[in-house]
């Protein structure tokens, strides 16, 4: 017991947040990043990963950022970019402090284009609820290759302290071993834009996606000038560019978008970036992820379906599935196309986009997977198609859940898994 207590206190002393895998600035089948948070003390940190012949290879460059936000106990964020990994293969890694190993885990490199991959997609999760913990445990058991989060990552808003209490501790068994990536939701950005809470917008501090999205689109920062300055200094180039990006994992091209109000997706330059991103990909499957579900049968948030303005682009470029959250349940549409009626440009902040949905086997499936942990809504609509809009094919709101995707170049098998382990929905999309 004493030994266990000593080991526990040692681990506590070594890390504020244990190491977690990220896409990093240049994700590729042989490259990813590992981040960790450590107490604010001078130490020499190293990260080594094991090569195929068993030798430990040190990462040459580890970037350190010191977190000194007002009201937060100072700590440091370390980021190491690993290269030379065997594509799609597991690898052992260890983190050393002052020459002594303090953490060891087995990670997995990004799968190359033709290799199958399993993904977990879970929206609106970080409420610290029993449902979140149950779903996290199911995700861990499913052994996904990567976890994707369509926004409202932590509640009540995206403060660093909520990441440290309701995010990393709950998913650490997965995150130490597999990449995670997220799209920002309203609780992450809009409801955390006031830096009178100086640890807000922690999205830009803790996530490390590639900075390959459109530049120059920003959260409208508020709060004391000194806190805004401290935020920007810590976020560096990640603010604001990290809010939109894309990457490839196995047979899937993932495009991650910011659907908050500040992003006006009627803007020609933003639409052109999205068009280029999708057109340039030759991946067998294209998925798009953002927070505000554009097609759903709930009354709540019905006025927030404005990203319908992007549907023609998704259709033109063969996007198979769009994943979203915001409404706290699970809903899936039939494959649909959307014909918008004329809408004002720019869009107002609360305007739904009027138009017509047309069922079409070549259309896009919209999966709302917002049942990751926050309080569920519309339980009574489960199993009652008469209460759904015609484009909805499935609706589950009686328990928390996540989406599991098995992708190979020819076939997608997509299942919704409940907190109790039951399969709540299942469908497949075959390559045409």
Residues forming contacts to Fe ion in the complex (CB under 5 A) are 152, 185-186, 326
- Could you tell me which of 48, 135, 37, 50 has the C-alpha nearest to residue 89? 50
Residue with smaller CB distance to Fe ion, 178 or 326? 326
Rg of the chain's alpha carbons, rounded to an integer? 21
Which is it for strands 355-359 and 285-292: parallel, antiparallel or unpaired? unpaired
Q: Count CB neighbours of 225 within 10 A.
A: 9
Smallest distance, Fe ion to C-beta of residue 216, A: 24
Residue with smaller CB distance to Fe ion, 156 or 169? 156
Residue with smaller CB distance to Fe ion, 81 or 152? 152
Answer whether 336's CB lies under 8 Å from 391's CB. Answer: yes
- What backbone phi and psi angles, to 5 degrees, belong to 277? -60, -45
Q: Which residues contact 351 (CB under 8 A, 6 or more apart)?
A: 303, 306, 343, 344
Smallest distance, Fe ion to C-beta of residue 259, A: 9
Residue with smaller CB distance to Fe ion, 108 or 326? 326
Smallest distance, Fe ion to C-beta of residue 358, A: 28
Residue with smaller CB distance to Fe ion, 301 or 415? 301
Smallest distance, Fe ion to C-beta of residue 207, A: 17
Residue with smaller CB distance to Fe ion, 152 or 425? 152
Smallest distance, Fe ion to C-beta of residue 403, A: 17
| CB-nearest residue to Fe ion | 326
Q: In whole angstroms, what is the distance from residue 173 CA to residue 168 CA?
A: 9
Residue with smaller CB distance to Fe ion, 283 or 374? 374
Smallest distance, Fe ion to C-beta of residue 152, A: 4
Smallest distance, Fe ion to C-beta of residue 317, A: 26
**Alpha-carbon dihedral 154, 156, 161, 164, rounded to 10 degrees:** -30
């Amino acid at each position: 017991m004493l030994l266990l207590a000593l080991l526990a206190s040692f681990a506590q002393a070594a890390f504020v947040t244990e190491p977690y895998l990220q896409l990093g600035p240049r994700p590729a089948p042989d490259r990813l990043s590992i981040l960790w948070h450590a107490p604010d003390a001078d130490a020499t940190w190293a990260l080594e990963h094991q090569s195929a012949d068993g030798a430990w290879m040190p990462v040459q460059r580890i970037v350190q950022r010191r977190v000194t936000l007002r009201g937060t106990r100072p700590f440091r964020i370390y980021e190491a970019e690993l290269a030379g990994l065997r594509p799609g293969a597991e690898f052992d890694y260890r983190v050393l402090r002052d020459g002594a190993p303090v953490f060891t885990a087995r990670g997995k490199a990004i799968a190359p284009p033709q290799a199958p991959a399993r993904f977990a997609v879970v929206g609106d999760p970080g409420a610290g609820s029993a449902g979140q913990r149950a779903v996290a445990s199911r995700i861990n058991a499913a052994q996904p290759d990567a976890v994707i989060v369509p926004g409202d990552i932590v509640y009540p808003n995206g403060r660093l302290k909520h990441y440290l209490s309701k995010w990393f501790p709950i998913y650490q068994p997965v995150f130490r071993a597999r990449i995670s990536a997220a799209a920002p939701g309203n609780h992450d950005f809009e409801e955390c834009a006031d830096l009178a809470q100086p640890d807000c917008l922690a999205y830009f501090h803790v996530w490390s996606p590639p900075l390959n999205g459109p530049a120059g689109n920003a959260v409208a920062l508020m709060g004391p000038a000194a806190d805004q300055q401290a935020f920007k200094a810590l976020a560096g180039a990640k603010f604001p560019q990290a809010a939109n990006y894309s990457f490839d994992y196995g047979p899937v091209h993932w495009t991650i978008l910011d659907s908050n109000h500040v992003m006006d997706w009627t803007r020609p330059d933003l639409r052109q970036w999205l068009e280029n991103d999708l057109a340039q990909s030759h991946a067998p499957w294209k998925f798009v992820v953002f927070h505000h579900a554009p097609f759903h049968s709930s009354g709540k948030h019905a006025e927030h379906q404005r990203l319908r303005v992007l549907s023609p682009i998704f259709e033109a470029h063969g996007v198979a599935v769009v994943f979203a959250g915001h409404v706290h349940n699970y809903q899936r549409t039939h494959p649909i196309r959307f014909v918008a009626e004329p809408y004002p440009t720019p869009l107002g902040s609360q305007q739904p986009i009027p138009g017509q949905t047309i069922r079409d086997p070549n259309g896009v499936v919209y999966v709302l997977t917002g049942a990751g942990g926050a309080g569920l809504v519309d339980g009574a609509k489960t199993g009652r198609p008469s209460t759904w809009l015609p484009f909805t094919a499935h609706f589950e709101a009686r328990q928390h859940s996540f989406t599991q995707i098995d992708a190979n170049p020819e076939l997608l098998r997509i299942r919704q898994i409940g907190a109790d382990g039951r399969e709540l929905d299942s469908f497949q999309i075959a390559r045409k």
